[in-house]
Structure 1
Amino acid sequence: MKFYSTNNPLYQVSLAEAVIKGLAPDQGLYMPERIPTLSNEFIEKLPDLSFREIGYEVIGAIFSEDLTKEEIHELVDHTLTFDAPLVKVEEDVFSLELFHGPTLAFKDFGARFCSKLMSLLLTDSEKKVRVLVATSGDTGSAVANGFLGVEGVEVIILFPKGKVSELQEKQFTTLGKNITALEVDGVFDDCQTMVKQAFLDQELNEKLLLTSANSINIARWIPQALYYFYAYSRLPKNGKKVAFAVPSGNFGNIAAGILAQRMGLPIEHFVAATNVNKVVPDFLRGAEFKAMASIPTISNSMDVGNPSNFPRLLALYGNSEETLKEQVSGYFYTDSETVDVMQEVKKEGYTLDPHGAVGYKGLKDFMSENPGYQGVFLETAHPGKFRETVEKALDLKLTLPERLAAFMEGKKKVESLENDFIEFKEYLKCLD
């Protein structure tokens, strides 16, 4: 399988180059040259399959030309070591809980897959790999823990100073070993821009082997399609159409769901739900796609003003804006609306984190306007990761899971960095 750049479909590379480089030289995102279609027979037998059995089939359909059957099973087994339960919140509304992994966030799936795939592809490399990661919260913790102790790999995480929750910070700033955290005096988009600049800098790339573990990397992005198949397999078969609502920041997660749909999963509609960083919802409602300065909110992992994965949304629908707008609806919510939803759902016995609350609200608004659906919203992180916000909103005291509480005991170790690519470049040049 070849992988092409979203900026130039004629520029194609191997799986190894797409994964190791992360970003195409023209700043495009890599996409598979073709999207395999899974058989109706496979779709019909989904309810009888385990999570891993689903994974073998889906990952095999995409990677079988590049990996052996044993390697595909090894990848899936390494990735799917925890569940993603579908929990009924109310009639026809289900929460897909993606926070049962090592760092209690959905990115654990992609991070574990990415680290394992890189280790398989780099077995013959003598050069140390530097994984550069920009994070608004959960990516940093998932990637850091996914790559912790992986031989021949060093992870460098850039995060915006004062804009990541304390617990999220602790999950990637206390690990040490091959994990380095750089605190940038700026916002997430600044961190993301510096990482992209590093990938495109000729001098740096001649000196260092740089790659990404953000969702721009296909090895982080593609495996997220697995839990859409799994969630669909566990839904009641009641004849109703299916909608998925995805709390969205960089839009890799919803793009993975669309990938699942393009592979044959019968998802009728997607809801892209955001906070007031509403570039994509505005576009879906008729405005021009125009990057904006990100705005801080209580759902900080979605504070993205220039979503990197937007070109993938278009590519998945043949670059047809019309088809994208038919298949995906956009909704956005203020912090006060998010808190109201958290309080409302808590009365029904379910605790939402602020990101899941945005997804739930988007799903409910879509379903009220479009009868005949049952829907799934993605609960992307454990409420305890945003303890201060959740406790204040719901007037309660959360008990942290042991895994989260253990991170809080660690000693934070960071290096400070100005919002300046030249300074970042000099830092990287000194690594060897």
Structure 2
Amino acid sequence: MEYTDTRDGSVRTDLKTAVLSGMNPATGGLYIPVRIPRLDDALLNKCYGPSFRDVAFETAKLYCADEIPDSDLQEIIADCYPFNAPVVPVDPVTYILELFHGPTCAFKDFGARFMARLMAYFNREEKKPLHILVATSGDTGSAVGSAFSGVEGINVTILYPKGKISYLQEKQLSTFTGNVRSLAVEGNFDDCQRLVKTAFTDTALRKKFRLSSANSINIARLLPQSFYYVYAALSVKCRSLHDNKIENPSIIAIVPSGNFGNLTSGLIAQKMGAPITGFVAATNVNKTVPDWLASGRYEPRESKSTLSNAMDVGAPSNHERITAMYTRDELKQFVASYWTDDEGTLEGIASCHERTGYIIDPHGAVGWQAWYNIRKGAMLKLMSGFPNSSENPGLTANIPFWAQSILDNKAVGIVLETAHPAKFGETVKRATGREPAIPDRLEKILNLPDRSVSIKNDYAEFSKWLQKNLSGY
């Protein structure tokens, strides 16, 4: 399998190089497969849902061909995923894909654990340590820190926006020790991301240290997120007729979206043959991509703080990958986009709980709100010639080809629940009157000491800190 660069299509490299370098230091471009391979029909046409590990292995081996023997890859998959991704029906046409059963209670565990083990595998013969730099808007950092904790030969530096993530999220980030450290940046997520990207293109720094990334900039974080799309879509395909008496429904994935890595993984899964008809990119007031789909103008902007903080991204990195795969006009054929504000997020948490009994986190709630509104009149209004203004929360004014299946009651939705609601207990209680129980694996970190270091939003200061602190490793 060959990989190329979003900014230079003539580039050809292998998976090891793409993973260990994170992004192309010569261009600042992101790595993508030269072609998206198709899954075996034997897997896609099974009359019963395959296991998650089977899906993960069958998907991963297509990207690791010739670089990782199947036996080694099976061991990596088994080590990565002692947990599952349950597909939970909450009403006749809605499923919740629970992605919070990993060690840090967020969907980032699926990508981070695979990436950590892949990096360790490729790095095992290197003498110089590999230094991972990662910017996080909430859950990425803790998943990466957990995945790499104690991994020999690899050190991790996590940058997060000081005071702009939940208390429990910050405790997860600020309590790491050993080879994992965190920096609290006086700025927003986009500032953190700029610092990291600048470091990757800093020739002097890269000559001194081996650097790589661990958020969805890195292809090894992105590809494994396609595993759960394939798994969920095949599971719903197998059970849908029994659940809702709809034969061959349109399967729509509703994706809470910030840096748009999760949606990109879904697009990859669809290209591989996963039976996903279309997508809803659901986000908060940081609606750069919905605005681009509506107007054709891509205008990055400063991110705004919201209750769904992991989606507070004003300049999403993976827009570059998405546009390397599809034109805007192509995307509009099968991707609907939706945005809401904090009031809508709270309404989504309350609505989901009241109508189904399910307690959903603020990010999943944005997805729930999108799907519920689409079914309850928003798509009909749009198709009747009354598009929503881009200034108001709601659907972007484009009609995907699957829109008629909504009106005909021939569609089912998979809402991605990206984090455990306990990570946002105060917000959930505000919406529902109930505070979700905290899993043991989260509760135990509450009494650990904070160890993060505060820095200004200044590359010179960040570079100085790196040169001082990485040199000892």
Fold equivalence (TM over 0.5): yes
Q: Describe the shift of the 1:189–1:43 C-alpha distance in structure 2 as closer, same or farther (beyond 3 A).
A: same
Look up the SS of the partner of 2:352 in the other structure.
helix
Q: Check conservation: 1:135, 1:188, Cα contact below 8 A.
A: yes
Aligned to 1:359: 367
Moved more, 364-373 or 250-259: 364-373
Q: Check conservation: 1:244, 1:363, Cα contact below 8 A.
A: no
Aligned to 1:255: 264
Provide the C-alpha distance between the structure 2 equivalents of 1:326 and 1:36, rounded to a whole number of angstroms: 22
Aligned residue type for 2:332: K
Large movers: runs of 4+ above 6 Å:
none
Look up the SS of the partner of 1:408 in the other structure.
coil
In structure 2, list runs of 5 or more residues that go unmatched: 242-247, 380-402
Q: Check conservation: 1:147, 1:155, Cα contact below 8 A.
A: yes
Look up the SS of the partner of 1:398 in the other structure.
coil
Look up the SS of the partner of 2:444 in the other structure.
helix
1:278 maps to which of 277, 284, 287: 287
Matched, 1:331 2:338: yes
Aligned to 1:315: 324
Matched, 1:404 2:442: yes
Using the TM superposition, give the Cα deviation of residue 48 of structure 1 relative to its aligned residue in structure 2, in angstroms. Answer: 4.3
Using the TM superposition, give the Cα deviation of residue 193 of structure 1 relative to its aligned residue in structure 2, in angstroms. Answer: 0.3
Q: Check conservation: 1:221, 1:253, Cα contact below 8 A.
A: yes
Count, aligned residues: 430
Q: Describe the shift of the 1:132–1:350 C-alpha distance in structure 2 as closer, same or farther (beyond 3 A).
A: same
Q: What are the superposed Cα offsets for residues 369-408 of structure 1, whole Å, 9 maximum, x if unpaired?
A: 2322101010000000111211222222332111111111
Using the TM superposition, give the Cα deviation of residue 8 of structure 1 relative to its aligned residue in structure 2, in angstroms. Answer: 0.8
Aligned to 1:89: 90
Q: What are the superposed Cα offsets for residues 14-40 of structure 1, whole Å, 9 maximum, x if unpaired?
A: 211111110112111100111111233
Look up the SS of the partner of 1:364 in the other structure.
helix
Q: Check conservation: 1:93, 1:374, Cα contact below 8 A.
A: yes
Q: What are the superposed Cα offsets for residues 142-177 of structure 1, whole Å, 9 maximum, x if unpaired?
A: 000000000111110111110011101111211211
Provide the C-alpha distance between the structure 2 equivalents of 1:88 and 1:65, rounded to a whole number of angstroms: 39
Matched, 1:423 2:461: yes
Look up the SS of the partner of 1:62 in the other structure.
helix
Provide the C-alpha distance between the structure 2 equivalents of 1:136 and 1:46, rounded to a whole number of angstroms: 39
Q: Check conservation: 1:46, 1:233, Cα contact below 8 A.
A: no
Look up the SS of the partner of 2:295 in the other structure.
coil
Provide the C-alpha distance between the structure 2 equivalents of 1:294 and 1:158, rounded to a whole number of angstroms: 16
Aligned to 1:17: 17
Look up the SS of the partner of 1:206 in the other structure.
helix
Provide the C-alpha distance between the structure 2 equivalents of 1:118 and 1:210, rounded to a whole number of angstroms: 12
Provide the C-alpha distance between the structure 2 equivalents of 1:156 and 1:424, rounded to a whole number of angstroms: 11
Provide the C-alpha distance between the structure 1 equivalents of 2:435 and 2:114, rounded to a whole number of angstroms: 34
Aligned to 1:183: 184
Moved more, 290-299 or 361-370: 361-370
Aligned residue type for 1:388: E
Please report the RMSD computed on the Cα atoms of aligned residues, expressed in angstroms.
1.2
Matched, 1:6 2:6: yes
Aligned residue type for 1:97: E
Q: What are the superposed Cα offsets for residues 240-284 of structure 1, whole Å, 9 maximum, x if unpaired?
A: 110000000000011101100001112110100000000111112
Aligned to 2:452: 414
Aligned residue type for 1:10: S
Equivalences for 1:9-408 in 2 at 5 Å? 9-25=9-25, 26-45=27-46, 47-235=48-236, 236-238=239-241, 239-317=248-326, 320-347=327-354, 348-368=356-376, 369=379, 370=403, 371=406, 372-408=410-446
Aligned residue type for 2:133: L
Q: Describe the shift of the 1:396–1:315 C-alpha distance in structure 2 as closer, same or farther (beyond 3 A).
A: same
Q: Check conservation: 2:19, 2:220, Cα contact below 8 A.
A: yes
Aligned residue type for 1:274: T
Q: Check conservation: 2:296, 2:328, Cα contact below 8 A.
A: no
Provide the C-alpha distance between the structure 2 equivalents of 1:376 and 1:174, rounded to a whole number of angstroms: 34
Look up the SS of the partner of 1:376 in the other structure.
strand
Q: Describe the shift of the 1:113–1:310 C-alpha distance in structure 2 as closer, same or farther (beyond 3 A).
A: same
Look up the SS of the partner of 1:47 in the other structure.
coil
Aligned residue type for 2:120: S
Provide the C-alpha distance between the structure 1 equivalents of 2:464 and 2:40, rounded to a whole number of angstroms: 51
Q: Check conservation: 1:131, 1:211, Cα contact below 8 A.
A: yes
Using the TM superposition, give the Cα deviation of residue 209 of structure 1 relative to its aligned residue in structure 2, in angstroms. Answer: 0.6
Provide the C-alpha distance between the structure 2 equivalents of 1:94 and 1:23, rounded to a whole number of angstroms: 35
Aligned residue type for 2:427: T
TM-score (norm 2): 0.89
Provide the C-alpha distance between the structure 2 equivalents of 1:150 and 1:77, rounded to a whole number of angstroms: 17
Aligned residue type for 2:303: S
Using the TM superposition, give the Cα deviation of residue 96 of structure 1 relative to its aligned residue in structure 2, in angstroms. Answer: 0.2
Q: Check conservation: 2:186, 2:457, Cα contact below 8 A.
A: yes
In structure 1, list runs of 5 or more residues that go unmatched: none
Using the TM superposition, give the Cα deviation of residue 316 of structure 1 relative to its aligned residue in structure 2, in angstroms. Answer: 2.5
Q: Check conservation: 1:145, 1:172, Cα contact below 8 A.
A: no
Aligned residue type for 1:350: Y
Aligned residue type for 1:360: W
TM-score (norm 1): 0.97
Q: Check conservation: 2:49, 2:235, Cα contact below 8 A.
A: no
Using the TM superposition, give the Cα deviation of residue 367 of structure 1 relative to its aligned residue in structure 2, in angstroms. Answer: 3.8
Provide the C-alpha distance between the structure 1 equivalents of 2:49 and 2:370, rounded to a whole number of angstroms: 30
Provide the C-alpha distance between the structure 2 equivalents of 1:135 and 1:393, rounded to a whole number of angstroms: 26
Look up the SS of the partner of 1:282 in the other structure.
helix
Moved more, 74-83 or 175-184: 74-83
Provide the C-alpha distance between the structure 1 equivalents of 2:76 and 2:324, rounded to a whole number of angstroms: 26
Q: Check conservation: 1:55, 1:226, Cα contact below 8 A.
A: yes
Provide the C-alpha distance between the structure 1 equivalents of 2:40 and 2:86, rounded to a whole number of angstroms: 25
Look up the SS of the partner of 2:224 in the other structure.
helix
